[in-house]
Chain A
Amino acid sequence: IQLTQSPSLLSASVGDRVTLSCKGSQNINNYLAWYQQKLGEAPKLLIYNTNSLQTGIPSRFSGSGSGTDYTLTISSLQPEDVATYFCYQYNNGLTFGSGTKLEIK
């Protein structure tokens, strides 16, 4: 399954509601996770199984979706959210998307 993330670059203001998209080439059956990777660091698990928040992750992060289309939402963007966000599917093989780079405007 190939994953297409959009946009590839997103610039938003602190406090904005931000939505990142991930579309699969086939049905993912909700076996989708989201990772945050800050510059020079390892990825961090944010969301698994489409909408389950990993322990310790702020509640401003949420996930939704079904079928082939999935979304990561940040309800109120914070400066520390500057990072690249990857979606990852584990329904059929294990594949990552190419990422959305999130910047502060």
Chain B
Amino acid sequence: EVQLQQSGAELVKPGASVKLSCKTSGYTFSNYYMSWLKQMPGQNIEWIGNIYGGNGGTGYNQKFKGKATLTVDKSSSTAYMDLSSLTSEDSAVYFCAAGYYWYFDFWGPGTMVTVSS
């Protein structure tokens, strides 16, 4: 069974950074792309970027360049996303989602990030 386990909810102060994790099991991590997506209430889901599990190659939505940094640890089949210089506009639920192609077959449950002083 494919599982994507995401880290717990975060409450962070404006200007700070946060690192989210997505630990996977049940599929060959190195054969899939891991994407990260942002969902805010009442707004369309946004694709942030992806990283290939095999070689760590990345691609980003231009909107999130400089905001998000994606990494992987192949040894533990875990993907990470660093979000920097957080503002209230970064408060959202963030999903990791694995896909062999450009759509997303498997999703994590999401991590809620709240940016507040």
Dominant SS among interface residues on chain A: loop
Q: Interface stretch among A17-25, A65-73, A87-95?
A: A87-95
B45 (CB) vs chain A CBs: closest residue? A96
**Interchain CA distance A16-B45 in the complex, whole Å:** 28
**Interchain CA distance A96-B44 in the complex, whole Å:** 6
Dominant SS among interface residues on chain B: loop
Interface size on A, residues (CB 8 A): 18
**Interchain CA distance A43-B44 in the complex, whole Å:** 13
Q: Nearest Cβ in chain A — how far from B112, in angstroms?
A: 11
**Given known A-B contacts A31-B102, A90-B102, A42 and B44 have beta carbons under 8 A apart:** no
Show 5 A/B contacts (Cβ-Cβ < 8 Å), sorted by A. Answer: A42-B109, A43-B107, A44-B107, A45-B104, A98-B44
